[in-house]
A and B are shown apart, each in its own frame.
Chain A
Amino acid sequence: MTPDLRAGWRGPSLGVLVAAGLALVVLGTIGVVAWTARGLSGLSSWDLRAVWFTLWQAALSATLSVGLAVPVARALARRRFAGRRLLVLLLGAPFLLPSIVAILGLVAVFGRRGWVNAALAALGLPEVTIYGWQGVILAHVFFNLPLATRLLVHGWAAIPTERLRLAASLGFAPRDIGRHLERPMLREIAPGAWLAVFLVCLTSFTVALALGGGPRATTVELAIYQAFRFDADLGRAASLGLVQVIISLAALAIAGRVAAPAGFGAGLDRPAELDGPRGWRVPADAAVIGLAAGFLLTPLASVMIAGVPRLPALPQSVWLAAGRSVAMALTSAALTVLLALPLALALSQGPARGARRWIEAAGMLPLIASPLVLGTGLFLVLRHWAATEDLAIPVTIGVNAIMALPFALRALIPAARTMQADYGRLAASLGLRGAARLRYLVLPRLRAPLGFGAGLAAALAMGDLGVIALFGDARNATLPLLLYQLMGRYRMADAAGAAVLLMGLSFALFWLFDRGGRR
């Protein structure tokens, strides 16, 4: 009598449903846009250039972000120092900045009049310029190094303490630890992290253009924008949207091929008695942490310096919009978790390998959905049911929840797989099902990645502008929308204050959930 190793019926089928729904929304909106345009239209040579630029800069940005994240995450994982927790938390900040704020923050540090060039000039060294492909890469690493670091820190934390203690008792040198523990873990986590960063860079466009120094830095997303805004050519927009989906599926396949489960087995969740290697590695780790913190936190500091003095003078409407944005962000985060959990559980058990790949692909799809295509598609479908301006807020909440899903999944999937491998049989033999399984196994084991995912979802929803721009509603403006309205009316100083408020709130939301998950 073999025990049934599958969990309760709810996991897989619910997961499959969610995955199918996601695929329908993302691919369906492209379909609707193409249908409205009476078909897809061809691409110009400039569009093809944009595809090429998008591809290589995203690949390079992702490789650099994950490559640099490895030493940073390792240093953070194996050292204890005052302020470490705060630093790990602060690392979440750059990712949450609205693009316009990030541009001004980066320029304040690396620009012509920036701190870096001021220091170089003081030393009599030549000026460095960020405008060009190097600026695009710099900006993307700035955004995504923290994300990759966070995902990898989760990976290090997931290596059971028992394995580390065994390694210590066997007298493992750092090299051996790398070979037997760290590298297998990286093999499992890093491809997914690379994929997430690659897809983020694929659809980024405001920052890439501003720091790219000109039209050479044209991404596919900008071409989509142009097709909409200037040529009113929905067919071309849909074609470009499809190109983005195809590129992403290819990247997904590559990442899936590289990844391999680490198979450490279960531990007893003892707190790690960390004792990182001594000798030259101590100052080396300190230097790595110092450099990363400097690179990521100085632009944030410049945003703070510009904005904090303006906070008391902000008009009341900014605070009202902030309240509205927080409420929307919390709702989005709840939705993201409700969608992500069944997906991750379905991936960790149940269906055959082929089906799993499809579910994972569907879970990553939102990352590459052009917000413009998604928003327009939804607009075209929904306008038959209700007045679009009444739908602005619900649609924005829904789209933001979907957009944050891939990040939540990246943190959840490895943890869910490990949980299933370590405890699946035990749970099945105990007949643990349904709500009990959720309560005694799933939630305790997945608490940290769930908190991280929810925090990220809330923070991203807080800073999103994406769809609301199309469905805009001046009377119910969100904080990011208000930030752009202030800038658009020359009120740069007020905008700097609103930016700090936005950053602070995104960050507080992230902290609340993330902290809740790590207790």
Chain B
Amino acid sequence: MRSLTLTLTASLLSAAAPALAADKPQLTVYAPDYFASEWGPGPKIEAGFEAQCACDLVFVTGDVLPRILLEGASTKADAVIGLNTDQTARARATGLFAPHNQDVASLTTPVTWTDPTFLPFNWSEVAFVYDDTRLKNPPKSFQELLDAPANAYKIVMQDPRSSASGLATLLWVKHIYGDKASEAWAKLAPQVLTVTKDWSESYGMFTDGEADMVLSYTTSPAYHIVEEKDLHKHALMFPEGNYFMVELAAQLKDTDQPELAQKFMDYILSPEFQTMIPEANWSYPAKLPNDQLPQAFRDLPRPEKTLFYSEAEAEAIRKPALEEWLRAFAR
């Protein structure tokens, strides 16, 4: 038993040793865990980029922003990918990031993007997703959802304190209802079956049939259509609008691989990268004309309006909006 354990430990430690690519320069990119996983876009992007850069692209996974904040100027990252707009204010404040040098005027995002530092690579909107075999009469607007009797719908959502989509929901309600957001939450709270830490728990409860609706994305139905041939899942488009969620990449100012990091920024907006995004990330790519999207994405309904707060607005609203949300549920 002991010798077995020792052998296993030895093999583990050797497995943990980094596979050194023979004298190729290494580009280190910090990414969220989902991104670099086998089912995320990471592996395809790595293969595509390495085919043209003569380098070794390494994704280091984990919580990107907390990690950058902890490491500060000593970070080994040459670039980061997968930040949310709710994190860019704090990321920008570190002064560690350099301009991306891309032409953002040509982006196909519904929100006009002008940020010179943080570059969008994919987006969608938050939306309530339901299954038409279980819910026959979904609400037609946010107001109708709020005015429904207390037990009309059972919704699962994410906690804004622990999840980016949860925070986006908070900003969505604030954007529509402004000073009346507290009352909106008070009306919505009875419809909320429960609040989970992450999106995964919520979505699992929804697909298991426990909840009628889940707070997810306008692009969620595409997964079920493409992978499961299931045409019964729909995202609700509200006339009040749906809130924009975008994921961003940036390069580090003090990288020791400035050319490679810049090349990676260029690669992000390349057609090759952008065509991988829809079915690897189940979201809209940041720069791809509609007619080049997969059919399932072209057929998805679009919201009438895409709502969005600028970084500074969102940063100012975050804490008071969270207070309102907590108070509505604390009753």
Chain A interface residues (CB < 8 Å from chain B): 36, 46, 49, 100, 103-104, 107-108, 111-113, 131, 205-206, 209-216, 222, 225-226, 228-230, 232, 315, 317, 324, 327-328, 330-331, 334, 376, 379-380, 383, 387, 389-390, 392-394, 397, 469-474, 476-477, 481-482, 484-492, 495
Report the separation of the CA atoms of residues A365 and B197 in the bound assembly, to the nearest whole angstrom: 25
CA distance A477 to B159 in the complex (A): 26
Evaluate whether A387 and B16 lie within 8 angstroms (CB atoms) in the complex, with A107-B208, A229-B66 already known.
no
Q: Would you list 5 pairs from A and B whose C-beta atoms are within 8 A, ordered by A residue?
A: A103-B205, A206-B197, A210-B195, A214-B189, A315-B38
Least Cβ–Cβ distance between B82 and chain A, in angstroms: 12
Q: Beyond A104-B204, A324-B15: 18 further Cβ-contacts under 8 Å? A: A36-B70, A103-B204, A210-B205, A222-B162, A225-B161, A228-B63, A230-B162, A328-B12, A330-B5, A331-B8, A390-B17, A390-B18, A474-B42, A485-B39, A488-B34, A488-B199, A490-B227, A491-B39
Query: What is the CA–CA distance of A376 and B189 in the complex, to the nearest angstrom?
Result: 34
> How far is it, in angstroms, between the C-alpha of A17 and the C-alpha of B76 when the chains are bound?
36
| A residues less than 8 Å from B197 (CB atoms) | 205-206, 209-210, 222, 225
Contact of A214 among B162, B192, B223, B282 (CB under 8 A): B192
Q: Nearest-CB distance from A341 to chain B (Å)?
A: 14
Of A49, A328, A485, the residue contacting B34 (CB under 8 A) is: A485
Residue of B with least CB distance to A391: B16
CB distance from A465 to the nearest CB of B (A): 10
Given the complex, which residues of B lie within 8 Å of A476, measured CB to CB? Answer: 15-16
Interface contacts (Cβ under 8 Å), in number, total: 189
Complex Cα spacing A376 to B90, Å: 19
The interface residues of chain B lying within 8 Å CB-to-CB of A327 are: 8-9, 11-12
Closest 3 CB pairs of A and B: A474-B36, A485-B37, A487-B200
A113-B210, A489-B282, A491-B39 known; A390 vs B16 contact (CB < 8 Å): yes
Q: Which residue of B lies closest to A317 (CB)?
A: B38
Q: B154: CB under 8 A from chain A?
A: yes
- Known A-B contacts A216-B330, A330-B8; A210 and B203 likewise in contact (beta carbons under 8 Å): no
Q: Decide yes or no whether B97 CB sits under 8 A from chain A.
A: no
Of chain A, the residue at the smallest CB distance from B72 is A36
Q: What residues on B are CB-neighbors of A392 within 8 Å?
A: 16
Q: Shortest Cβ distance from A169 into chain B, in angstroms?
A: 43
Question: Considering residues A49, A131, A490, which has the most beta carbons from chain B within 10 angstroms of its beta carbon?
Answer: A490
Residue of B nearest to A323 (CB): B8
- B272 close to chain A: CB less than 8 A: no
Cβ contact within 8 Å between B200 and A213: no
A470 lies within 8 A of B71 (CB): no
Total interface residues on B, CB under 8 Å, equals 69
Residues of A within 8 A of B195 (CB): 209-210, 213-215
Complex Cα spacing A393 to B205, Å: 31
Give the CA-CA distance A489 to B40 in the complex, in Å: 7
Q: Is the CB of B33 closer than 8 A to any CB of chain A?
A: yes
The CA-CA distance from A485 to B59 in the complex, in Å, is: 15
Residue ID in chain B nearest A226 by CB atoms: B161
Known: A228-B66, A315-B38. A210 touches B329 (CB 8 A): no
Question: What's the nearest-Cβ distance from chain A to residue B67, in Å?
Answer: 8
Partner of B201, one of A103, A486, A490: A103
Chain A residues within 8 Å of B227, by CB: 490
Specify which chain A residues have a CB less than 8 angstroms from the CB of B16 in the assembled complex: 390, 392-394, 473, 476
Q: B62 contacts the other chain (Cβ, under 8 Å)?
A: yes
Instruction: Give the residues in chain B near A222, CB-CB below 8 Å.
Output: 159, 161-162, 197
The contact of B210 among A111, A216, A379, by CB within 8 Å, is: A111
Contact across chains for B201 and A210 when beta carbons are under 8 A apart: yes
Contacts of A210 in B (CB 8 A): 194-197, 201, 205
Q: Are B200 and A112 in contact (CB under 8 A)?
A: no
Residue of B34, B220, B325 with most chain A CB atoms under a 10 A cut-off: B34
Q: From residue 22 to 52 of chain B, which have CB atoms closer than 8 A to chain A?
A: 31, 33-34, 36-40, 42
Contact B194 A131 (CB under 8 A): yes
B2 at the interface (CB under 8 A from A): yes
Q: How far is the CB of A378 from chain B (nearest CB, A)?
A: 12
- Please give, as numbers and ranges, the residues of chain B lying within 8 Å of A229 by CB-CB distance: 63, 66, 161-162
* Interface flag for B300 (CB, 8 Å): no
Q: In the complex the two chains form, is B37's CB within 8 Å of A100's CB?
A: no
